[in-house]
C-alpha cells in the first residue's frame, strides 16, 4: 500500500487554522512561528497540488479541499494519538485521558457513582468532564473536543446507543397539600410552571405533548439547569416539570401527571473512528447505565 508522505505536524497546523481562523493564532496555539505554519501548509499544498488555505481580510480559512483534508486529518491524528496508549495496553496497562461530556441532570444525579467505580478500577486514566446541553455535546464530539458523551440527542456521524428512558414528573414544595397538586395536563396548564428553556430536549417533549392535547403551555420561568428549576419550585414560584430521578430525599414532592406520558431517551454517544483504549473502557463502563 502506498502511503502519502503527509506530515502529521502540518496536518495539525491545518486543523489549528480551521479552529482559530488565522495563521498567527494557529501559530500561537501550536507554539510555532507564523513562517513555520506557512511553510507546513505550502508543503501540503505542493504535495497535493491544491490550494488548502485562502487568506481573507479577517484572517484565513480553509478552501473546500482544505476542509476535506481537515476532516480526514482529524480522524488520522486521533488514531495516532492513541497509538502509545494501545502499545502500553498490550502490557496490561490502561492509561490516558478520557474527555467526557454530559447533560446537567445526568451529571448531577446519575454519573457520580458510575465515575467513582471507573476511576477506582482504572487509576491511570484521567477523566475530564464537562456539562453542556445535548446539542452542544454533539458539536463537541464532532469537533474532537470530547471522546464520549451521555445526552438526549443523536447524530448520523456519531455512534449512538440507547441507555434508558427517563419519564417526566411534576415537582412541588414538600408541604403542599395533596389536593393542590395537579394530576392532569389540563390542570397543570392553568398553573404557574417552571421548566426548561426552548430548544432543550425536555422542553421540546413538553411542548409537543401540550400541543397534541390542544392545550396552551406558557411557563413563568424557562431555565437551563435543573437545580435552578428546583430552587424556584422550593421558593413557591410554581410547579416544576423535570426528569424523574432529579429529586433527592424530601427536598421536593414529585408525582406523575396521568396523561403526560412522555420520556426522554438517554443515549451514549461517541465517534466510531479509532477510539482510544481508555475511551473504549469508559464506553463499556457507561453501558452499565442500561440497568439503572
Average pLDDT rounded to a whole number, residues 118-123:
91
What percentage of the chain exceeds 90 in pLDDT? 55
Among candidate residues 79, 253, 115, the one with its CA nearest the CA of residue 171: 253
Query: Using an 8 Å Cβ cutoff, are 113 and 85 in contact?
Result: no
> What pLDDT score was predicted for residue 114?
92
Rounded distance, CA 282 to CA 115, Å?
Answer: 9
Among candidate residues 202, 168, 174, 170, the one with its CA nearest the CA of residue 189: 170
User: Where do the domains of the chain lie, and which CATH numbers do they carry?
Assistant: 8-81 (1.10.10.10), 87-163+266-291 (3.40.190.10), 164-264 (3.40.190.10)
Rounded distance, CA 223 to CA 237, Å?
Answer: 13
Per-residue model confidence as pLDDT tens digits over 8-44: 888 888 888 988 888 888 888 888 888 888 988 888 8
> What pLDDT score was predicted for residue 69?
87
* 88 pLDDT more than 80: no
Per-residue model confidence as pLDDT tens digits over 151-188: 999 999 899 999 999 999 999 999 999 999 999 999 99
> What pLDDT score was predicted for residue 232?
96
Per-residue model confidence as pLDDT tens digits over 203-218: 999 999 999 999 999 9
Average pLDDT rounded to a whole number, residues 63-73:
86
Set of cell numbers at residue 166: 427517563
What pTM was computed for the model? 0.67
Per-residue model confidence as pLDDT tens digits over 231-283: 999 999 999 999 999 998 889 999 999 999 899 999 999 988 777 888 999 99
> What pLDDT score was predicted for residue 55?
85
The position carrying cell 479552529 is 19
Amino acid at each position: 500500500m502506498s502511503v502519502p508522505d503527509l506530515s502529521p505536524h502540518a496536518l495539525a497546523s491545518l486543523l489549528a487554522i480551521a479552529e482559530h481562523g488565522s495563521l498567527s493564532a494557529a501559530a500561537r496555539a501550536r507554539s510555532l512561528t507564523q513562517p513555520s505554519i506557512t511553510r507546513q501548509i505550502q508543503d501540503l499544498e505542493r504535495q497535493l497540488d491544491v490550494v488548502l488555505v485562502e487568506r481573507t481580510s479577517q484572517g484565513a480559512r480553509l478552501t473546500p479541499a482544505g476542509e476535506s483534508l481537515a476532516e480526514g486529518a482529524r480522524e488520522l491524528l486521533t488514531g495516532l494519538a492513541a497509538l502509545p496508549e494501545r502499545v502500553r495496553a498490550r502490557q496490561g496497562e490502561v492509561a490516558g485521558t478520557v474527555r467526557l461530556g454530559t447533560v446537567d441532570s445526568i451529571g448531577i444525579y446519575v454519573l457520580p457513582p458510575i465515575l467513582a467505580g471507573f476511576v477506582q478500577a482504572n487509576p491511570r486514566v484521567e477523566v475530564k468532564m464537562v456539562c453542556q446541553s445535548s446539542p452542544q455535546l454533539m458539536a463537541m464530539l464532532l469537533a474532537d473536543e470530547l471522546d464520549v458523551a451521555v445526552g438526549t440527542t443523536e447524530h448520523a456521524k456519531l455512534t449512538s446507543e440507547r441507555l434508558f428512558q427517563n419519564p417526566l414528573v411534576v415537582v412541588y414544595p414538600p408541604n403542599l397539600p395533596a389536593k393542590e397538586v395537579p394530576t392532569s395536563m389540563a390542570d397543570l396548564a392553568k398553573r404557574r410552571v417552571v421548566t426548561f428553556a426552548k430548544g432543550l430536549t425536555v422542553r421540546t417533549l413538553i411542548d409537543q405533548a401540550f400541543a397534541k392535547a390542544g392545550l396552551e403551555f406558557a411557563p413563568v420561568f424557562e431555565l437551563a439547569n435543573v437545580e435552578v428549576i428546583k430552587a424556584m419550585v422550593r421558593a413557591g414560584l410554581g410547579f416544576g416539570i423535570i426528569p424523574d430521578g432529579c429529586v433527592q430525599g424530601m427536598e421536593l414532592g414529585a408525582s406523575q401527571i396521568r396523561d403526560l406520558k412522555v420520556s426522554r431517551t438517554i443515549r451514549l454517544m461517541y465517534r466510531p473512528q479509532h477510539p482510544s483504549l481508555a475511551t473504549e473502557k469508559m464506553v463499556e463502563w457507561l453501558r452499565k447505565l442500561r440497568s439503572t
